[in-house]
Structure 1
Amino acid sequence: MFDTLKTFLNSLTGDDEQHYSQTDPRLAAAALLVHTISIDGVIAEEEKTVLRTVLQSKYALSAEETDELIEEAGAADKEAVDLYGFTSVLKRSLDEEERLDILAMIWDLVYADGVVHEFEDNLVWRIAELMGISSRDRMILKKRAGKLAE
């Protein structure tokens, strides 16, 4: 009922409807990525650039589609009370290899500004745990991202 009311109010105010559903793994992944770049309190230009690049590359999006996905992901992240809503979508929708790809994208963002903040490291650990990724695989991806960032 709330969604119907929200859609109605958005139509009255001229707000665009969401193009990605809450169960779309692209939105869930993008929301985790947006959360990652903002968790340390500073969103560096390098992080924004890497965010756009990894989303465009992973999902074969145009510049406009990427902007739309980032905007909707930012809104979804602001409304979220925890990470489970996003990670559960990914765990249900993606196989292990695809979830590892998402975690690799997250590590790329963590290293984008050249500094691994303790909040970022902790966030990646929580996301990996919720997506069913082992500590071993998480650390392998971390080392790989760190070497690429050098």
Structure 2
Amino acid sequence: MFERFLSFLKEIPGGSGRSTGDDDPRVAAAALLYHVMNVDGVRQDAEWERFKAVLGENYGVSGTELDELAKAGEQADREAVDFYAFTSVLKRHLDPDGRKAFIGLMWEIVFADGELHELEDNTVWRVAELLDVERQDRISERRKVAASLPDPAKIPDEE
């Protein structure tokens, strides 16, 4: 399932890493991931590195292309008034399994610093709702990512 999501992301038109406009799912994904990374007001190096790694791994970009995609996501997030513009693009381009996998990527960014802030949790919840990802799937992705952490005891398992 996750492999299908990764291959889909790499096959998206405009795979060069450059934005193709408002309907570019790569930029929409980067914007949401950037937002969840910064929502608690503190961007730690571990979060930034995980953000860039997730973009690089999922879109097959590196170097200048990766920097351009990260910058496009940051700019799109700063200009956005809500999440709908991004989630509507992702809903058009991703099947239900792909949307669930994307929520897993958001949790990876959230837990990159080993902590969970309530604003991060709320952001993932809101994005999941807009993507029509079921509550149990959102929680399942959260638990899966948290369990892979070096110290999962630091992350509360409660919703």
Q: TM-score range by the shorter chain?
A: 0.7 to 0.9
CA distance in structure 2 between the aligned counterparts of 1:146 and 1:62, rounded to whole angstroms: 27
Moved more, 38-47 or 57-66: 57-66
CA distance in structure 1 between the aligned counterparts of 2:92 and 2:100, rounded to whole angstroms: 14
Q: Residue 19 of structure 1 corresponds to which residue in structure 2?
A: 18
**Secondary structure, counterpart of 1:48 in structure 2:** helix
Question: How many residues in Structure 1 have an aligned counterpart in Structure 2?
Answer: 133
Q: Residue 146 of structure 1 corresponds to which residue in structure 2?
A: 146
Structure 2: runs of 5 or more not aligned: 1-16, 151-159
Mapping 1:1-150, distance limit 5 Å: 19-20=18-19, 21-150=21-150
Q: Which runs of 4+ in 1 moved over 3 A?
A: none
Query: 2:107 is aligned with what amino acid?
Result: W
CA distance in structure 1 between the aligned counterparts of 2:146 and 2:63, rounded to whole angstroms: 27
Query: 2:140 is aligned with what amino acid?
Result: I
RMSD: 1.1
Contact 2:18 2:65 in 1 (8 A): no
CA distance in structure 2 between the aligned counterparts of 1:108 and 1:100, rounded to whole angstroms: 13
**Secondary structure, counterpart of 1:149 in structure 2:** coil
CA distance in structure 2 between the aligned counterparts of 1:134 and 1:62, rounded to whole angstroms: 33
Deviation at 1:19, TM superposition (A): 3.0
Contact 2:55 2:61 in 1 (8 A): yes
CA distance in structure 2 between the aligned counterparts of 1:31 and 1:133, rounded to whole angstroms: 18
TM-score, length-normalised on structure 1?
0.86
Identity %: 43
Larger Rg: 1
Q: Which has the higher helix share?
A: 1
**Secondary structure, counterpart of 1:101 in structure 2:** helix
CA distance in structure 2 between the aligned counterparts of 1:55 and 1:79, rounded to whole angstroms: 20
Deviation at 1:98, TM superposition (A): 1.3
Q: Residue 15 of structure 1 corresponds to which residue in structure 2?
A: none
Moved more, 74-83 or 93-102: 93-102
Query: 1:143 is aligned with what amino acid?
Result: R
